[in-house]
Structure 1
């Protein structure tokens, strides 16, 4: 999706919620503009002795409910508008989950696969040096996102600690366990989607056991989600990465798919079922569809081919507004990204709390807290939707989130 369009669509969701809630113009303006946006140039000494300069950003949408919170992505197509859109969405994702945060997001325009490990470390540290004045444990707390990982977070946390001349584990979340990471963080986004989807199914008097599931995007979140849903007794019938896919109506062996993907980098040699394209996976009939790739994969051009009764959005913005409208008219339940993919930021919050208190939780404690918070969020949205008689889950989710942020703006006297 073209990034300016993605930003405009993110803003339109907020504006629609403001309209539905009857909010005043001042509140609307605060909710649709970032509080702070920083653009940086990062010079990096390459292994061959040359220097390349990379462009990066850090955006804080609002901190009315607490410090900014949101990931850092390293991607060749990242732009300022994309980062602004994602920071905006993070505000409402945090509000839905009941977290004491505002939305933040960062990005660097780079293809990390083209860098050596040493070049990647220099870039990571250089980015943190550039944005150090605007981040902090009580100011803005980054985390991993597309093409960043716990090792990169460890370098970033270490660089900030060097600048501050003090250990600052809480400034970054998504770190390795050895340096203050939280148990359950790697699987958190997928785990949160499972909890929310299971709650939705149970609210309809159904269980996940026996449900057929398609997963579009077989990176970290998608692969873990496939494993988790399979463990619940669901049948994973289709998966795909960016270039290859598998369809098997008898059910895919997720462990074997993971092994092949790890060894070969694709799913092309999976021995059972049928090889399909990522576009094919969108058209396969299933009970539950999990979009776990990039934004805008379901759009006007393919929405009529979607054959599912429930979509749980693991990715940010995987459905365009036009496609969203079509699916809602067809009666498809859409668990929106600000709810269904909130597991990652929720466990990031747990990590931040553990870093600040020095008390670390077991995996069982993390899972119990995560499930309680996200299931509570689901039923809060469900109740709001029913009481307001609003027409879809996304509108209800943004209604709950915008209402919470607007209340904080009023209570603090900002509007």
Structure 2
């Protein structure tokens, strides 16, 4: 196979991590392995220049991306990330993981991802809006409700999605709510969307813990990341009697062996915009987070957090990957050797894209469901997907990650095989 020339492939890069995951699943695919190079090549990668007039009148240029990894099973689906470290390598990997994720939970989507290399917190609201609208116009040639449907990711939110929807709609002369998901409720957003990813982490984690004989009541839970995903997963685990003993974000690492009060911490975060300084827990060194006594670990921040060295230190029995790509392959091996069960990101954090699918369906039909209906439908899809992956892992005597990739790759490559190659 020719090496891709448009992205660096260091041993720790996200794209390399993804390729190594594909290599591991290849032996399980039988005749479908003939098509596996499909998964090693993004279908389309767009790099755009975004000129922006700043509030002071100066002109700056930002680099943006939209990658469509695979569209064999339907339109692309994936978030848009605003972060100083965004690059093509990362966006390619994130789009590929979206391909696997959508197939693993059997949603009728392919995988896509986008981003801009920018610190959104360094821009005014006006600058952020102008940046978003120009970016939308640049990628507008490849997105659309039947082509590629963006959503929020790190550094973006419902307001950004509203700007994207409005810009795309103005350029097409009519309101098109289905071009993005994760919108404000009053603009065609779905109830339950904001908490969906964290809820999915909880639902899949509870199912695996039950099947693995891991008691959740009284379990010590450590959470890295306290945004929408980490905070909701922590809250739901606390509700069933788990103790949230450690929480880490970019401002602090908190520890309380008796359990951190989730309601109090959430209120503190709302008031202070950070978890640092919270009086209900002790602040410890950031690396001490990984040696905290714990039963369940929820990495819900950025990719590449569980390194080989950290994997050797972890005391948990169960890892629930709320983030995308948080575990390096060599760390995966160490944890498996130590008997630690990993619920892989492509299933564990798929609650967000599942409810995004519900939002898209509701937008297309102009008929909206209650939050109770949303949660019930999501819980069933997530539970069914997790059970299918668990049974595949038992059948193939492999890890849950490999099993999830087998399930997903079989679905993707079957679609590729049956569609054939145009022009044949």
Range of TM-score over shorter length: over 0.9
**Alpha carbons 2:32, 2:410 under 8 Å: kept:** no
Aligned residue number for residue 416 of structure 2:
409
Structure 1 residue 281 displacement after superposition: 1.5
Structure 1 residue 9 displacement after superposition: 1.1
- Aligned equivalents of 2:92, 2:239: Cα separation in 1: 37
Q: 1:46 aligns with which of 41, 44, 54?
A: 54
Aligned residue number for residue 309 of structure 1:
317
- Aligned equivalents of 1:251, 1:189: Cα separation in 2: 23
**Alpha carbons 1:69, 1:104 under 8 Å: kept:** yes
Structure 1 residue 235 displacement after superposition: 1.1
- Aligned equivalents of 2:311, 2:214: Cα separation in 1: 26
Aligned residue number for residue 28 of structure 1:
36
Distance 1:413 1:372, change over 3 A: same
Superposition pairs of residues 10-159 of structure 1, within 5 angstroms: 10-23=18-31, 26-159=34-167
Q: Is the aligned partner of 1:230 residue 2:238?
A: yes
- Aligned equivalents of 1:107, 1:159: Cα separation in 2: 17
Question: What SS does the corresponding residue of 2:141 show, helix, strand or coil?
Answer: helix
Aligned residue number for residue 217 of structure 1:
225
Aligned residue number for residue 242 of structure 1:
250
**Aligned CA-pair RMSD:** 1.6
Aligned residue number for residue 174 of structure 2:
166
Aligned residue number for residue 264 of structure 2:
256
State how many pairs are aligned.
414
Q: Is the aligned partner of 1:193 residue 2:201?
A: yes
- Aligned equivalents of 1:99, 1:44: Cα separation in 2: 36
Alpha-carbon deviations, 1:309-352, whole Å to 9, x = none?
00000001111111110000000000000010101100000000
- Aligned equivalents of 1:69, 1:223: Cα separation in 2: 24
Alignment gaps of 5+ in structure 2: 1-8
Distance 1:3 1:151, change over 3 A: farther
- Aligned equivalents of 1:154, 1:58: Cα separation in 2: 18
TM-score, normalised via structure 2 length: 0.95
**Alpha carbons 1:198, 1:207 under 8 Å: kept:** no
**Alpha carbons 2:72, 2:412 under 8 Å: kept:** yes
Alpha-carbon deviations, 1:124-156, whole Å to 9, x = none?
111100000100100001000001000000010
Q: Is the aligned partner of 1:273 residue 2:275?
A: no
Alpha-carbon deviations, 1:178-206, whole Å to 9, x = none?
10000000001100011101111222345
Distance 1:248 1:364, change over 3 A: same
- Aligned equivalents of 1:125, 1:8: Cα separation in 2: 32
Q: Is the aligned partner of 1:394 residue 2:394?
A: no
Structure 1 residue 15 displacement after superposition: 2.4
Q: 1:338 aligns with which of 346, 357, 378?
A: 346
Distance 1:158 1:307, change over 3 A: same
**Alpha carbons 1:3, 1:82 under 8 Å: kept:** no
Distance 1:25 1:254, change over 3 A: closer
Question: What SS does the corresponding residue of 2:49 show, helix, strand or coil?
Answer: strand
- Aligned equivalents of 1:293, 1:384: Cα separation in 2: 28
- Aligned equivalents of 1:311, 1:206: Cα separation in 2: 12
- Aligned equivalents of 2:297, 2:146: Cα separation in 1: 37
- Aligned equivalents of 2:150, 2:230: Cα separation in 1: 22
Q: 1:352 aligns with which of 343, 347, 360?
A: 360
- Aligned equivalents of 2:363, 2:215: Cα separation in 1: 37
- Aligned equivalents of 1:2, 1:184: Cα separation in 2: 38
Aligned residue number for residue 3 of structure 2:
none
Structure 1 residue 207 displacement after superposition: 4.9
Question: What SS does the corresponding residue of 1:301 show, helix, strand or coil?
Answer: helix
